Amino acid sequence: MGNYLPMNASDGLLTSPLDKFTNMAKEFLPSDFNWIVLSFALAYLLLYYFWSRRKMLHSDL
């Protein structure tokens, strides 16, 4: 059922030119780097939150 949802259906119809590069990267990189990607995403979200909060508090609204 999930393959027929809008995002998954469009992924099957529209191909990206970057697919070749992502497939090559998947071959060379091991798949056990999930915790690194998750930690970078969490760090980015925290930095973005604190930067935007500081900007909103110091801006003259």
Q: What's the CA gap between 27 and 21, in Å, rounded? A: 10
pTM over 0.95: no
- Residue 11 is predicted with a pLDDT of 67
Q: pLDDT of 5-49, one tens digit each? A: 666 666 667 777 777 777 777 777 666 777 887 888 999 999 999
Q: What is the pLDDT of residue 23?
A: 76
Q: Over 60: is that where the pLDDT of 1 sits?
A: no
Q: What is the DSSP string of 6-31?
A: HHHHHHHHSPPTTHHHHHHHHHHS-S
Q: What is the pLDDT of residue 36?
A: 80
Q: Is the pLDDT of residue 53 over 80?
A: yes
